[in-house]
Amino acid sequence: MENRQVLIDSLPDEKLSTDNYKLVTTEAPVPGDGEVLCRTLLTTVAAGSRAGLQGSASYAGAPQTNIVMNSHGVARIEASNSDSLKVGDLVTCPTGWQDYSVHAAKHCQLVSDDIDLAHYLGALGTNGLTAYFGLLRVGEPREGQTVLISAAAGSVGHMVGQIAAIKGCRTVGTTSTDEKCGLLMRDLGYDAAVSYRSPDFRADLKAACPDGIDIYFDNTGGEVLGAALFRMNEHGRIVCCGVVSQYDTSHPSGGPKGVPGLLVNKRIRMQGFLVFDYLKDYDKARAEMKDWIKSGELKPVNDTVEGLENAPDAFVNLLGGGNVGTRIIKIAD
């Protein structure tokens, strides 16, 4: 059986390009004892993977070439040497960008098709959990507070905005273009939106946050973090989730002005987190997120691109702001 794979051919020097990848065809792997053969149906394209290629994601280790591009996916079991999973079962597992992969059954999580399978990679996957724990555990939102979110239309961001609204907060999003600002307010429920590319960004942000900012959920670092710091209220929280403004380059810029002075004077808590810190509470969070989806309070957006061969282009496009919601590659039915 043939297995198409997207390999990392070279590491990006400055911006990621589709030339950094190559599509190859090999034989599908054969499962050993306790292992299963997984047919990838859907897989993710995530901004954080660019940090992995840059070598700035501690959990991803040193970047390598000639390996299958890593990703999480939804897969169907095609062959099983395990008692716990049978042929036809649907699971989530680290599929990578390829048609078939072999995994120890214990590393696959059984899922049910009572909900759109893409949600297992979005709201019920890593990015949904990141939004949930980052906002609720690190940000500690309270009703009536103002929450600013950067990369607000993206996978993590659009869910943070909606969860903050569920908790009774006022939400302000930043994104690249005026068109996406309109979408944030019209389709994603934000109360206000600001383009970080506008020459008047700092003034626009001030106008969008007349009562200051209580929580800044930072997906980007860079210019948005620099501006948000000066609008934070006393005892505000800055949730450091990621630094996407500094991933797609070999020359990341330095940190913002005002650290630590502003943190001291305004008693601001600035805290980084990794979603894995909350592993033991994943099931509880997923159950709550699933309830919100079923009640219609949370409307996760999945941005699906067809075809494994289009994954590199979908990734380059995502880094340029081309996605709304969680970008997913559909590989098979």
- Least Å distance between CB 84 and ligand NAP? 28
Calpha distance 8→66 (Å, rounded): 5
Calpha distance 140→123 (Å, rounded): 19
- Least Å distance between CB 39 and ligand NAP? 24
**Window of 8-16, 111-119, 252-260, 273-281 that interacts with ligand NAP by CB under 6 A:** 273-281
Phi, psi (degrees; rounded to nearest 5) at 10: -150, 160
Does 244 bind ligand NAP (CB under 6 A)? Our answer is yes
- Least Å distance between CB 313 and ligand NAP? 15
Name the amino acid, one letter, at 268: I
| Out of 175, 183, 194, 330, the residue judged to bind ligand NAP by CB under 6 A | 175
- Least Å distance between CB 186 and ligand NAP? 16
**Which CB, 105 or 227, lies closer to ligand NAP?**
227
Instruction: Give burial (CB, 10 Å; 0-12/13-18/19+) of 333.
Output: exposed
203-234 burial, b at 16+ Cβ within 10 Å, e below that, comes to ebbeebbeebbbbbbbbbbbbbbbbbbbbbbe
Residues in the chain: 333
Peptide bond into 260 cis (omega under 30): yes
Does 46 bind ligand NAP (CB under 6 A)? Our answer is yes
Does 155 bind ligand NAP (CB under 6 A)? Our answer is yes
| Out of 43, 98, 101, 130, the residue judged to bind ligand NAP by CB under 6 A | 130
Binding residues for ligand NAP, per CB under 6 A?
46-48, 51, 126-127, 130, 151, 153-157, 175-176, 180, 196, 219-220, 222, 241-245, 273-275, 318-319, 321, 323
